[in-house]
Amino acid sequence: MNPIYLDNNATTRVAPEVLEEMLPYLRDLYGNPSSMHTFGGQLHRKIEEAREKVASLLNALPEEIIFTSCGTESDDTAIMSAVESLPRKKHVITTRVEHPAVLNFCRHIARKGYRATFVPVNNLGRLDTDFLFKSIDDDTAVVSIMYANNETGVVFPIAGIAEKLKERGVLFHTDAVQAGGKIPLDLKELPVDMLSLSGHKLHAPKGIGVLYVRRGTRFSPYIIGGHQERGRRAGTENVASIIGLGKACEIAAKHIHKEAADLKRLCDRLETSLLNCCPDTRVNGDTENRLPNTTNISFEYVEGEAILLRLNEFGICASSGSACTSGSLEPSHVLRAMGIPYTAVHGSIRFSLSRYTTEKEIDRVIEVMPGIIRELRELSPFGREKIVCPPE
Ligand code: PLP
């Protein structure tokens, strides 16, 4: 039986049309695009067609698109390129709620002699933009701020920030890995210098990413070697995945407005129903500025891990911000940065929908969830005191 897959911010299903488009390049047309012979060389044209499709989704120029291996590589390249292009500047600014791809990279370069500032958010996950602008000084090389948060779906006001940073002459990168393909991104209207995308968040395969670099932006490659990607990212191209990503972007561009509206309706219904039928629940994050597919709900006095295990028995896949399930020792740094109490962080569940999520699947979650929460709360011999919280 197919699972009810509500973990699309972790990864998405490869769209059947994308797989179809890729298969010939895995099976028969396996040449190297750099080869002199036609068998390989013909692939060059296909890569350029895919680049045009990605550029079209972003309203960018094809030459501004660099294919990478993933969102993480795109993020790291953007920050590294900025600090290498401006060698006298030693300060980077990011936020406390970034994905580890940016957060840990900034911590890494901070250990190598750079200064890193981490901008806080409020209890709705909204960015403290005053803090951001006050943090900029003559030493600032780059600001990297995510477009949308992977855990809460909160969307930051990137266009407004970008305008201000342009006036201050600071390079600006945005990690749009969670926004790409879900909400419109128009780089003619959005004056960022660099932007990251990841294929597997928008129904292309894992292992393919994009770094957009605005024409005229100073760029220093991170992966050094051959001449691929016009010398900006060495390594033999992941031809099939690039072609798949092109197709995924083409599909996303065609349906983005309708899909966003459909997702929002389904996601809102799930959220409202769960809040209504489960007591002691709360939504984490700014519901006014949020991705249409994401809701992060805390079920107080229950462990997120226990909820996920019970959901799993019903064939429902979601994810949690509690320490046990997030693969780290610490509970969600995003929810903690928002000042969400420990009891709520531990019981937080993220549901993230996709174009393949059906009404029936949402109905099923609404049907089983109240029973799961009731049962887990009753099972707990200590009731509400079961979760031992460290002092705030
Ligand atoms: N940035 C954000 C906001 C993400 O959600 C993710 C993945 O979850 C990444 C970066 C990393 O992307 P990838 O898995 O392609 O390296």
Contact (CB, 8 A) for 301 and 61? no
- Residue 343 is predicted with a pLDDT of 87
Instruction: Indicate which residue's Cα is closest to atom 9 of ligand 1.
Output: 71
Q: What is the pLDDT of residues 146-158, one digit of tens each?
A: 999 999 999 999 9
With a 6 A CB cut-off, is 99 part of the ligand 1 pocket?
yes
CB 237 within 8 A of CB 246: no
> How far apart are alpha carbons 214 and 97 in whole angstroms?
25
Q: Return the pLDDT at 321.
A: 79
User: How far does the centroid of ligand 1 lie from the alpha carbon of residue 42, in Å?
Assistant: 31
Looking at domain 4-10+255-386, does it have CATH number 3.90.1150.10? Answer: yes
Q: What percent of the chain shows pLDDT beyond 90?
A: 92
Q: Is the CB of 182 under 6 A from ligand 1?
A: no
**For ligand 1, atom 13: residue with the closest CA:** 71
Domain with CATH 3.40.640.10 in the chain: 16-252
pLDDT at 144: 98
Which residue has the least CA distance to atom 8 on ligand 1?
Answer: 10
Q: Is domain 16-252 given the CATH code 3.40.640.10 in the classification?
A: yes
Q: Is 72 in the pocket of ligand 1 (CB under 6 A)?
A: yes
Q: Look at residue 387 in the predicted model and tell me its pLDDT.
A: 46
User: Counting atoms of ligand 1 from 1, which one is nearest the CA of 206?
Assistant: 15
Report whether residue 177 contacts ligand 1, using a CB cutoff of 6 Å.
yes
Q: Which atom of ligand 1 is nearest to the CA of 98?
A: 3
Radius of gyration in angstroms for the set of CA atoms belonging to the chain, rounded to a whole number? 22
Residues of the chain with CATH 3.90.1150.10: 4-10+255-386
- Looking at the CA of residue 73, tell me the nearest atom of ligand 1: 16
For ligand 1, mutation pick of 9, 147, 196, 198 (most atoms within 8 Å of CB): 198
326 within ligand 1 shell (Cβ under 6 A): no
Check pocket membership of 95 for ligand 1, CB cut-off 6 A: no
**Beta strands at 194-198 and 316-317: parallel, antiparallel or unpaired:** unpaired
Q: Provide the pLDDT for residue 1.
A: 76
Among protein residues, the one with the nearest Cα to ligand 1's atom 5 is 150
What's the length of the chain?
A: 392
Q: Is residue 144 lining ligand 1, measured as CB closer than 6 Å? A: no
**Of 69, 150, 195, best ligand 1 pocket probe by most atoms within 8 Å of the beta carbon:** 150
Q: Which two structure tokens, joined as six digits, stand for 221?
A: 């490659």
Q: Is 217 in the pocket of ligand 1 (CB under 6 A)?
A: no
Probe target for ligand 1 pocket from 177, 291, 332, 352, with the most ligand atoms within 8 Å of CB: 177
**Which DSSP category does 220 fall into?**
-
What's the CA-to-centroid distance between 259 and ligand 1, angstroms? 21
The rounded Å distance from CA 198 to ligand 1 centre is 7
Q: What is the pLDDT of residues 192-202, one digit of tens each?
A: 999 999 999 99
Cβ of 294 closer than 6 Å to ligand 1, yes or no, is: no
Residues marked active site are found at: 324
Per-residue pLDDT of the chain (392 residues; tens, 9 = 90+): 789 999 999 999 999 999 999 999 999 999 999 999 999 999 999 999 999 999 999 999 999 999 999 999 999 999 999 999 999 999 999 999 999 999 999 999 999 999 999 999 999 999 999 999 999 999 999 999 999 999 999 999 999 999 999 999 999 999 999 999 999 999 999 999 999 999 999 999 999 999 999 999 999 999 999 999 999 999 999 999 999 999 999 999 999 999 999 999 999 999 999 999 999 999 999 999 999 999 999 999 999 999 999 999 999 999 997 766 667 767 899 999 999 998 899 999 999 999 999 999 999 999 999 999 999 999 875 455 444 444 44
Does residue 319's CB lie within 6 angstroms of at least one atom of ligand 1?
A: no
Ligand 1 atom nearest 200 alpha carbon: 15
C-alpha dist (Å) from residue 388 to 4, 72, 300, 321, 391? 32, 35, 13, 17, 10
Q: Where are the beta strands (DSSP E) in the chain?
A: 4-5, 65-68, 91-95, 115-119, 140-144, 171-175, 194-198, 209-213, 281-283, 294-299, 316-317, 319-320, 348-352
